[in-house]
A and B are shown apart, each in its own frame.
Chain A
Amino acid sequence: MSMKFEFPETCSEGAACGCAESDARPVAVAPAPTDVEHATVNVDPVEVGRRWFLKASAAFTTTILAPGVTLMAFGEADSAHAKPADQPVSAKQRWGLLIDAGKCEQGCKACVTACNEENGIATPKNLATDAQWIRTLQVKNPENGSTFQMPFMCQHCSEPPCVDVCPTGASFRRADGIVLVDRHICIGCRYCMMACPYKARSFVHEPLHDQKPEVPRGKGCVESCTMCVHRVDEGGTPACVEACAKTGNAAMIFGDLHDPNSEIAKRIATYRTTRVRADLGTDPGVFYQNI
């Protein structure tokens, strides 16, 4: 069955949060609109009370006895309120990036600027604490002095250590390979940042202002590159890829790694590509050429 992770629509934190989401985690919904609507219409107050009681007692017992079950129980209840999916997220796809460092122009920051703009991230002033979803690495080979530049972001691992260690499951990998943080259940423990081998994640150290409704963020939570999931789900490409193409360098391409006819898959099948620290077994979805 194909599933899609969705963010339901209103945020209970109101002004404090300013995002357009509910406090529920993105739930797996079956793309069966009629069933879902039906469930939402027939709300019986007794049933609501009973459900509430069940939820509460389930929460209580499972806290003590069998955690994990709750996740399923809650997921089921919440899915009744979720919007039907127009495009199912499926494991048939795996979204990925191919970045040719040979085409990345020294000093260019178009991808970084575009990412900040797209996701409502302020240009970093404090380099140690401000969020940076994408950065350019300046690389030097100490043996021969040769240098190059490459953009670097969350590698959207298919064996992501960040997801493995996350105590609440806020870090999750969608079936289509995009790794996200559900900022409504992230408790800000930062264990994922300890575990990520790529230093891909940022912790929000300060209150945020002027957030984009389609990109929920929040103080005290961890975040990282979302591969512009809000654009991808509408059939678009990530902002960095688009910006890079506009400069004429076209160092980045985005696409479905599982589709043998996609440009990205063809190129990976043709050229020698490298994945950063592939030795760690994380199976990244970001491929590099000429590094």
Chain B
Amino acid sequence: MMARITFQKLDDHSSFFWGLLAIHAVVIALGLGAFLYMEHHGHIVTGMNNAIVWGTPHVFAVFLIVAASGALNVASISSVFNNLAYKPFARLSGILAISLLIGGLMVLVLDLGRPERLTVAMTTYNFKSIFAWNIYLYTGFVVIVAAYLFTMMDRSMSKSGAATKTMGWFAFVWRLALTTGTGSIFGFLVAREAYDTALMAPLFIAASFLYGLAFTVLVLLTVCRETRTNLMSEEMIEKFRGLMIIFALSVLYFTAVKHLTSLYAAEHHGVEAFILWNGGIYTASFWLGHVLIGNVLPIVILAFLAGENKVLTGRTGIAISSVLALVGGLAFMYVTIIGGQAYPLDLLPGMEVESSFLDGVVASYTPTLPEVLLGIAGVSVAMLVTGLALKVMPFLPRAAQPE
């Protein structure tokens, strides 16, 4: 029989906890400073230009938004698929999803050319734009997940479980729409050969599962240290290990399908060769970052090196794999977002084109410190919001109870 789950806030603070929060606060301050600097001088102080119009901030923003929807996984598995083992972590998963989304959106907004016109974006609205739809998908996500958390935490509502289940379903469907929407931002760009595939959405969904789980695991391990208790039983570690292997395999699978189908279409040979073979930093990000570090290594570690009587404990193995998956995730965003823009547009197929506007050549882009700081600040915002939320409300389970 399963023990009744009780929840706790973080209230006994170690210097470790405050230290972490302080680091995040400093990073956020640096990021805001970077924003003011960019805002004052214009985007000229970034590495972006008229060919690479979305730079490092977008890499972080899209990464966080994708991870946000994935972070909800644990909650979904618990209430939608009725798996009680995940229930203790459902609340954490919800609040983490909201925090990651807030972090990503902050970066997205602060990277606008005219961030002070955000109200314009919210009042004048072009229904045809998938970008505009995303504004609603994102705000809706926060509201729905918050309501979902409420049904989990409110005494009378959580008793019956019906409300939680309904909201859980709703949030589950919504997060799929959200990731599809984010993937479609790229899918809609007919002129950009790198994105010209319907496989963008499933690939993003698979990636979101992986990154969301990696964030969840890392946050859990960090708070374990803070509460000095073992929040995750060995069985739970085993479950997360299995899930992560499956998610990484599916990312690899969709990556392979996407590139193989693109190779099949002759007009995409150029861009495929660029990403897979001769694109320099983008090829490296793809193979070393996305494929090797982000997926193959975590799979190898989790499947062969970690677990009982192996080189690594399950806990260490999953911690290392999570970090690797997130690093690989950033590389995946980098090659997708920036590599996709760096490859020149084909203005006159079959002809060689040159111009003062740098047509026909691979665009160069070197990120500058301010944009990197702004991007990292997004991650810190997500972590700080999570940290503070864990402090003010009971999102965390008490120590793992043997089943």
Q: Which residues of A contact B (CB under 8 A)?
A: 25, 59, 62-63, 67-68, 70-71, 74, 112, 124, 127-129, 131-132, 135-143, 152, 161, 163-170, 185-191, 193-199, 201-207, 219-222, 276-277, 280-281, 291
Contacts of A219 in B (CB 8 A): 42, 113
A165 touches B130 (CB 8 A): yes
Contact of B113 with A194 in the complex, beta carbons under 8 Å: no
Q: Check B113 against A199 for contact (C-beta < 8 Å).
A: no
Main secondary structure of the interface of A (DSSP, over half): loop
Is B129 in contact with A59, judged by CB distance below 8 angstroms? no
A169 to chain B, nearest CB (A): 4
Instruction: Output the least CB separation between B235 and chain A (Å).
Output: 43
Q: Which residue of B129, B189, B359 is within 8 Å of A167 (Cβ)?
A: B129
Contacts of B356 on A, CB cut-off 8 Å?
Answer: 112, 124, 127, 132, 135-136
As a 0/1 sequence over residues 267 to 281 of chain B, the CB contacts with chain A under 8 angstroms (1 = contact) are 000000000000000
Q: Give the chain B neighbours of A70 by CB distance below 8 A.
A: 123-125
- Choose the segment among B48-56, B153-161, B374-382 that binds chain A (4+ C-beta atoms closer than 8 Å): B48-56
| Number of interface residues, chain B, beta carbon within 8 A | 55
A206 and B42 within 8 A (CB):
yes
10 A-B residue pairs with CB within 8 Å: A25-B124, A136-B356, A167-B126, A187-B121, A188-B112, A190-B54, A193-B50, A201-B50, A207-B42, A280-B191
Contact B358 A194 (CB under 8 A): no
Q: In the complex, which residues of chain A have a beta carbon less than 8 angstroms from the beta carbon of B357?
A: 127, 132, 135, 199
- Given A127-B358, A132-B50, 4 new contacts (CB under 8 A): A129-B49, A137-B353, A138-B353, A188-B117
Residues in B neighbouring A197, C-beta threshold 8 A: 190-191, 345
Tell me, yes or no, whether B12 is within 8 Å of chain A by CB: no
**For residue B190, which residue of chain A has the nearest CB?**
A280
Say yes or no: is B192 at the interface (Cβ < 8 Å to chain A). yes
Q: Cβ of A196: which chain B residues have Cβ within 8 Å of it?
A: 191
Cβ–Cβ contact B114 & A187, under 8 A: yes
What is the bound-complex CA distance between A164 and B191, given in angstroms? 13
Nearest CB of chain A from residue B182's CB, rounded to whole Å: 13
Is A203's CB under 8 angstroms from B43's CB? yes
Question: Is B4 interfacial (CB 8 A cutoff)?
Answer: no
Could you say which of B50, B347, B354 contacts A277, with CB atoms under 8 Å apart? B347
**Judging by beta carbons under 8 Å apart, are B127 and A276 in contact?**
no
Q: Type the 1/0 row for B115-150, where 1 means its CB is closer than 8 Å to any CB of A.
A: 101101111111111111001100000000000000
B351:A140 contact, CB within 8 angstroms: yes
Question: Which chain B residue has the least Cβ–Cβ distance from A197?
Answer: B191
What are the residues of chain B within 8 A of A281 when measuring CB–CB?
190
Contact, CB under 8 Å: A142 / B351: yes
Within 183-207 of B, Cβ neighbours of A (below 8 Å) are at 185, 188-192
B345: nearest chain-A partner, CB-CB: A199
* With A152-B355, A280-B190, A280-B191: A222-B113 Cβ-Cβ less than 8 Å: yes
Chain A residues whose CB sits within 8 angstroms of the CB of B126 once the complex forms: 163, 166-169
Q: In the complex, what residues of B have CB within 8 A of residue A67's CB? A: 122-123, 125, 127, 132, 136
